[in-house]
Structure 1
């Protein structure tokens, strides 16, 4: 396993062609609770995982020289917990990255999202040339908002986006959070 980043409890590794055995991704994206704020909890097909999800997870970002999505595994057991996103918004510049996470329910409530997010933010500001980290979620997604706050991101704005299909809570809009390198250093 090629390791990108390790924390006390997590191993974050790039997705690889070996992940073409998509059962763990299929299980994650077919849990209605996990997908509640993403697509309203609707099921995801195996073909969608193969044709849309995997290409996104396997994409190399030239400005990073690496991927922008990381499989999250338990360091002790190797169990797949989900994934983290830490990808440049522009493939030509590492200045602004988007932070995201999708973890299975068995990983909820254990601090994994905060632990992995903090480690990625630290690596981004120290090793990857990141100047600003941004994260977005539905305004009603209190759990994800709390993770953003615990990792040091600050609320920037509420906004409304065009949803292809409205889902419960989308009428309340989205929220954006951010952390700049200057603010991270100040807190440091």
Structure 2
């Protein structure tokens, strides 16, 4: 567990799955991932955790209220990719930055040399979170989306933070 001033992050459990599904049922939460489409079959990837992924951390307020999740997926090159998703009721409160910073620091303590994260170019709130925790813009890509939706035409931005040298 990672205890923070306002949050507790704990590795996900199957009992978290209903909270994850409810999060994904909100079209606004899914806007920059699926164009707001909900009810898609879950594939158990970073996009739709089931509570069985060791890379996914459930975020809750200290009273136990569900906030969202943060994930850190190791890559073969010694880096890791971070993702996060918060319930709309918790947007704009600094909780995304609090959780992402803590998980990034944890990842560096586990030996990851770099942490990357990506979002659609038009997702300004997520970009601000990445910048607030010290990530810098690495590149912009234009992937082929199987089903494009508004915003995909502007591409995807990648941010990165390197492990501090001690």
Deviations 1:163-182 (A, max 9, x none): 1210111000000000111x
Where structure 1 has 5 or more consecutive residues not aligned to the other structure, the ranges are 60-66
Distance 1:164 1:89 in 2: 24
Distance 1:79 1:110 in 2: 15
Distance 1:28 1:135 in 2: 20
User: Structure 1 residues 35-44 or 10-19, which shifts more?
Assistant: 10-19
CA displacement at 1:185 relative to structure 2: 4.2
TM-score in terms of structure 2 length: 0.91
CA displacement at 1:88 relative to structure 2: 0.7
Aligned to 2:66: 80
Distance 1:54 1:33 in 2: 18
Distance 1:185 1:154 in 2: 17
Q: Does 1:170 align with 2:131?
A: no
Deviations 1:33-78 (A, max 9, x none): 1100000011125xx34x53345x423xxxxxxx111111001x10
SS in 1 for 2:79: strand
Q: Does 1:58 align with 2:57?
A: no
Aligned to 2:105: 122
Distance 1:106 1:19 in 2: 18
Aligned to 2:91: 108
Equivalent runs, 1:83-162 vs 2, <5 Å: 83-90=69-76, 95-126=78-109, 128-162=110-144
Q: Which has the larger radius of gyration?
A: 1
Distance 1:170 1:54 in 2: 23
CA displacement at 1:84 relative to structure 2: 0.4
Count matched residues: 163
Distance 1:185 1:110 in 2: 31
Where structure 2 has 5 or more consecutive residues not aligned to the other structure, the ranges are none
